[in-house]
A and B are shown apart, each in its own frame.
Chain A
Amino acid sequence: MLDRRSFIAAALASALPWPAVAGKVAQGLFIAETPKPLTNVDIRDNQGQPAGIESWRGKPALVNLWASWCLPCVAELPALDRLKPIIEAEGLRVIALCLDRSGAVGAVNSYARLGIRNLAVHVDHQRQAGEAFGVAVLPTTLLLNEKAEEVARFVGGAAWDGPESLTLLRALIAGKKLETAMSPPLVRPTANP
């Protein structure tokens, strides 16, 4: 037990800096020390059919966590949509996982508004993906190996169809060791898409 004096000292010390974290979240590419199996969560397609981690094995994958209320997420969806036909032909799955509470409705409406043509609808049916994958900010994009293990994650928005991103994703497909230096540049939206 703390005595009163040290309790007050502790209270004071803690009260001074309540950390300002929201604007200071580390962004960019983070490489996992060892590939990390993903916790299984209930992911469905727009027909309500299971479309989760079990079906992602066998090929490396890019899994982008987004929500319709997240401006930078919505801003990068068109780049992911353009990326999908390019990189899937080379052997990478591209999955956009919508965390909206409204489920497929939110995803479908956003896709329609943005003119998304290639991305399939994936929804976090039980609203567990954010916590299960340790994602505290959106957008966060997980890069998985063919065993559906996380080898890296990108926090923030990126031009996913840009040259730096393609180099990174081709290294993932080739099973090469990813490095922080392979990070595509962060993209910050300048207007409400």
Chain B
Amino acid sequence: MMLRSMMLAVAIGFGALPALPFGPTPALASEFTGRFLLETHDGKRVNDESFAGRIRLMAFGYTYCPDVCPTALSTMASALDLLGTKANQVVPLFVTVDPKRDTPAQLKDYMAAFGPRFIGLTGTVQMTDAAAKAFRVRYEIHPPEDGDPNHYVVDHSAGIFIMNRDGSFAAKLGYMADANEVAERLRQVMDGEKK
């Protein structure tokens, strides 16, 4: 619990000081910018500014989970349920890191399982790569074990991002976060704006 609150505190700090600590550190290949240019599952080209004015609840992943599937999108959907009408202020986004298989049609179908609010984002490999880098999400494509080029495995860093209405970073929650925690952080972001 303490560790979790500490990480949360640090994560908030990370958002508050975007440019300060990260510049000179060679281990950090890229800065967290939260920028992206992608296509929705309806084929519309969007960037981070397209959602200005709404809080974004974001996850990265892929629909072809080969062995186990994270329940992050279910958690996000339940968190929005918990918010009631306040959920209208939030746009849930899912960015694929596997655009080769996650075509707009595939994503659209998948998003439908989590509710009409969910928007799946894909693009060319360059576009999804750039988005993952901008959120410092790491992923690796593993070669197929059986020689079939469509049977590769993707590992990625899981978690749920909350971005402010202006697209800046608000929080990142771990993959074990439950719907109550996600809803609470969203409420905190909304309440923080009122002060």
Residues of chain A having any CB pair with chain B under 8 Å: 7-8, 10-12, 14-16, 18-25, 27, 67-73, 99-102, 106, 127, 130-131, 135-140, 155-157, 186, 188-192
Which chain B residue shows the least CB distance to A16? B27
Q: What is the count of residue pairs linking A and B with beta-carbon distances less than 8 angstroms?
A: 135
Q: How far is the CB of A39 from chain B (nearest CB, A)?
A: 12
What 0/1 readout, one digit per residue, does chain B (61-86) give for beta carbons within 8 Å of chain A? Answer: 10111111111001101100100000
Other contacts beyond A20-B158, A137-B69: 17, CB < 8 A: A10-B10, A14-B11, A18-B138, A19-B174, A21-B157, A22-B61, A22-B157, A67-B74, A69-B110, A69-B113, A70-B65, A71-B66, A73-B69, A130-B75, A131-B180, A138-B71, A190-B151
Interface size on B, residues (CB 8 A): 55
**Binary CB contact string for chain B from 157 to 195 against chain A (1 if under 8 A, 0 otherwise):** 111000000000000101110111000000000000000
Interface string of B126-161 (1 = CB under 8 A from A): 000000000011111000001010010111111100
A22 to chain B: closest residue by CB: B158
> B53 at interface (Cβ–Cβ under 8 A)?
no
B65 and A72 contact, CB distance less than 8 A: yes
Q: Which of B22-52 contact A (CB under 8 A)?
A: 22, 25, 27-28, 32
Q: Give the chain B neighbours of A99 by CB distance below 8 A.
A: 71, 74
B20 within 8 A of A: yes
Chain B: CB-nearest residue to A106 = B113
Chain B residues proximal to chain A, CB less than 8 Å: 6-7, 10-11, 13-14, 17, 20-22, 25, 27-28, 32, 61, 63-71, 74-75, 77-78, 81, 110, 113-115, 136-140, 146, 148, 151, 153-159, 172, 174-176, 178-180
Interface of A is mostly: loop
Residues of A within 8 A of B156 (CB): 20, 22-23
Residues of B contacting A140 in the complex (Cβ-Cβ under 8 angstroms): 68
The 8 Å CB contact of B113, one of A27, A68, A135, is A68
